[in-house]
Amino acid sequence: MSGSSKGASLAFGQAVIGPPGSGKTTYCHGMQQFLARIGRRVAVVNLDPANEVTPYERAVDIAELVTLPDVMESLKLGPNGGLIYCMEYLEANFDWLQEKLTALRGHYFLFDCPGQVELYTHHSALKNVFVQLAKWDFRLAAVHLVDSHYCTDPGKFISVLCTSLSTMLHVELPHVNVLSKMDLIEQYGKLAFNLDYYTEVLDLSYLVDHLASDPFFKNYRRLNEKLVEVIEDYSLVSFVPLNVQDKESMRRVMQAVDKANGYSFGDQEHRSLEALMSAAMGADFHFASTLAVQEKYVQSQDKAVEEEVMDV
């Protein structure tokens, strides 16, 4: 990927990471479509050897190099051990990856990564892949997807914060944490606090107090206080809410990522984005901020209460 003119050879993109079921593949498909509509040439690279079916067209597919079922069968490994082996095998075959990516110069890249949390918190294989991409003049931002339903459980949310912080420190890429599936959050239950409390990760002592009211967590208050102190001391974790169906929501995530990886778009793309967003606003599109998402959530809760009253 290196060339005589380093600036001309730079490639930008996103490393889409997160636990299983957080919506990484759906995000890659949605972001590919969104970016294509504003004129950005996008190549999706599937780095998940367990991803047998994807809604997007794979510009590069790790399955051509190694697949998880083959590794599990031939080496008698479980899914976790198999995924780690696949990433180490990719690390040992960088020439294959470089050849595939070189043929796609001029594209914006979306790397659809595996869902094994260990790969982002302490194992080095995938981190080494990102380091090698940087040597090839790739400028990536990590987009860490977290299912928004964790907001409805204070204990799980603290664990998500710890995982997100550990991932940020281990992966060592510019980082954008995303609360995915915001369109489904009302199905998970009532939030203890306003949505901006979770996205901005405000004073977490309130979360500890809320947990202490639960008999199960009462005995672990000291532990939770210490975990919260670590998160607040680093002051790194915050979230961008995402609903893949909402163009405005996708735009906010895109702009956060572009800021993180240094991508600078041209006038033509800017005009295409304005045209797309004006069309979205004309299509009864009202969600311009986290507050708007919160309002939608509150309204759905009020409607549910009204329906219960009517039934009574």
CA angle 173, 178, 181 (to 5 degrees): 150
Q: What is the DSSP string of 53-71?
A: --SS-EEEEGGGT--HHHH
In DSSP terms, which residues pair with 46 in a beta bridge?
61, 112
CA 177 – CA 126 distance, rounded (Å): 18
Is 5 contained in some domain?
Answer: no
**What pLDDT was estimated at residue 67?**
94
**Least confident window among 5-19, 144-158, 214-228, 292-306:** 292-306
CA 147 – CA 181 distance, rounded (Å): 6
Average pLDDT, the chain: 85
Is 224 contained in some domain?
Answer: no
Is 275 contained in some domain?
Answer: no
Q: What distances in angstroms separate CA 104 from CA 155, 164, 198, 235, 261, one per listed residue?
A: 44, 31, 38, 37, 19
Sheet holding 42-46, edge to edge: 58-61, 42-46, 108-112, 11-17, 138-147, 175-180, 239-241
Q: How many domains does the chain have?
A: 1
**What pLDDT was estimated at residue 303?**
63
Q: Is the pLDDT of residue 114 over 80?
A: yes
pTM: 0.83
Element (DSSP H or E) covering residue 196: helix 195-199
Is 27 contained in some domain?
Answer: yes
Span 258-278, average pLDDT: 75
Span 103-126, average pLDDT: 94
Helix (H, G, I), strand (E, B) or coil at 48: coil
Is 214 contained in some domain?
Answer: no
In sequence order, what E strands does the chain have? 11-17, 42-46, 58-61, 108-112, 138-147, 175-180, 239-241
Is 308 contained in some domain?
Answer: no
Pick from 304, 297, 302, 292: which is nearest to 193 by CA? 297
Question: What CATH number corresponds to the domain at position 130?
Answer: 3.40.50.300
Is 297 contained in some domain?
Answer: no
Q: Quick one: pLDDT band at residue 291, thresholds 50, 70, 90?
A: low
Is 307 contained in some domain?
Answer: no
What range defines the domain where residue 165 resides?
11-201+237-265+285-291
* Other CB atoms within 10 A of residue 72 CB: 19
Q: Is the pLDDT of residue 129 over 60?
A: yes
**Least confident window among 35-49, 216-230, 284-298:** 284-298
